[in-house]
């Protein structure tokens, strides 16, 4: 049996590749890459010439079998993605799962990861965080996912494309409230930038300029709010929802105005009551 190496590559600055990663890439019998054209440039830069095969979301079943066959033949395979650590919001976990099931040794070669890079320079408490990756493209699904995460106690870490950044920030404001956030873009590259502030402020900034480059969004937890006792949120929601005069959305809006509680908390309680 061969060995499957999970090799992290730079997320921007090519100097961030490790000496061990370079050695493994030079010694591997086969390099499985998300985009062979992109990866060939990386290998050429470091004077590495190895056989390349593609492995990405749309061919992972077919190419996964091909790579497993090579591993069973005793060849070593290095799995890389376009940037960063494979299997972290990138293709790869299915191949690792199947390799483990087949008794093939899997060896991680650590290195750059955009989420950890952003956290390290964010200035936010990093002892407890949740990595949420990319949110769904469609607004409805995106808001559902955000709503499900609204009660998380640690920092939320997301990846996003510059084209959807503004829409995502607006959805975050609507579902999570006006939290403190850090938007890190172009990490390790020439125009690396960290934008810090409340969601409302960063939305205003994003509306006034063009944001380029892949971004990581770090969102702080919800501020702790004491829920009122007596005729408060739950009683008001029950009253409005059972009256038949208000939709769930209108009931949430009315109770939010009457109690001053975060809309996300009221919405979550409304969903619980409806459920």
| pTM beyond 0.85 | no
For residue 16, what is the DSSP state? G
Whether the per-residue pLDDT at 161 is higher than 80: the answer is yes
The answer on pLDDT for 255 being more than 60 is yes
What's the confidence (pLDDT) of residue 257?
Answer: 80
Contact partners, residue 116, CB within 8 Å, separation at least 6 = none
pLDDT > 70 fraction of the chain, expressed in percent and rounded: 97
**H or E element at residue 157:** strand 155-160
Confirm or reject CATH 3.40.50.10440 for domain 3-112, answering yes or no.
Answer: no
**Alpha carbon of residue 245 to chain centroid:** 40
Q: Hey, where are the domains in the chain?
A: 3-112, 115-219, 233-274
Per-residue pLDDT at 170 exceeds 60: yes
Q: Taking 80 as the threshold, does the pLDDT of residue 231 lie above it? A: no
Pairing type for strands 30-33 and 52-54 reads parallel
- Tell me what the mean pLDDT of segment 152-163 comes to: 95
Q: What is the pLDDT of residues 198-229, one digit of tens each?
A: 999 999 999 988 888 999 999 999 875 544 44
DSSP 91: S
Q: Can you tell me the mean pLDDT for 266-271?
A: 84
Q: Does the pLDDT value for residue 23 go beyond 60?
A: yes
Averaged over 81-101, what is the pLDDT? 94
Compute φ and ψ for 52, nearest 5 degrees.
Answer: -115, 145
- Is the pLDDT higher at 226 or at 149? 149
Fold classified for 115-219: 3.30.950
Two tokens at 62? 């077919």
């Amino acid at each position: 049996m061969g060995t499957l190496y999970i090799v992290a590559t730079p997320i921007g600055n090519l100097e961030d590749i490790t000496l061990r990663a370079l050695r493994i890439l030079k010694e591997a019998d086969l390099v499985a890459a998300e985009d062979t054209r992109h990866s060939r440039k990386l290998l050429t830069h470091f004077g590495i010439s190895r056989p390349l095969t593609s492995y990405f979301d749309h061919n992972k079943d077919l190419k996964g079998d091909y790579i497993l066959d090579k591993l069973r033949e005793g060849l070593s395979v290095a799995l890389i993605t376009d940037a960063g650590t494979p299997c972290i919001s990138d293709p790869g976990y299915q191949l690792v799962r199947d390799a483990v099931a087949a008794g093939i040794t899997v060896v991680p070669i650590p290195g750059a990861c955009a989420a950890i890079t952003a956290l390290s320079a964010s200035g936010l408490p990093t002892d407890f965080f949740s990595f949420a990756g990319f949110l769904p493209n469609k607004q409805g699904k995106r808001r559902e996912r955000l709503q499900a995460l609204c009660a998380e106690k640690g920092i939320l870490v997301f990846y996003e494309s510059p084209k959807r950044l503004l829409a995502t920030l607006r959805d975050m404001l609507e579902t999570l409230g006006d939290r403190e956030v850090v938007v890190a873009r172009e990490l390790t590259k020439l125009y690396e930038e960290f934008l810090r502030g409340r969601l409302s402020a960063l939305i205003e900034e994003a509306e006034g300029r063009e944001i380029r480059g892949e971004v990581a969004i770090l969102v702080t937890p919800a501020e702790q709010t004491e829920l009122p006792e007596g005729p408060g949120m739950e009683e008001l929601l029950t009253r409005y929802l059972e009256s038949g005069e208000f939709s769930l959305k209108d009931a949430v809006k009315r109770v939010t105005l009457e109690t001053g509680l975060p809309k996300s908390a009221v919405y979550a309680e409304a969903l619980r009551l409806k459920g």
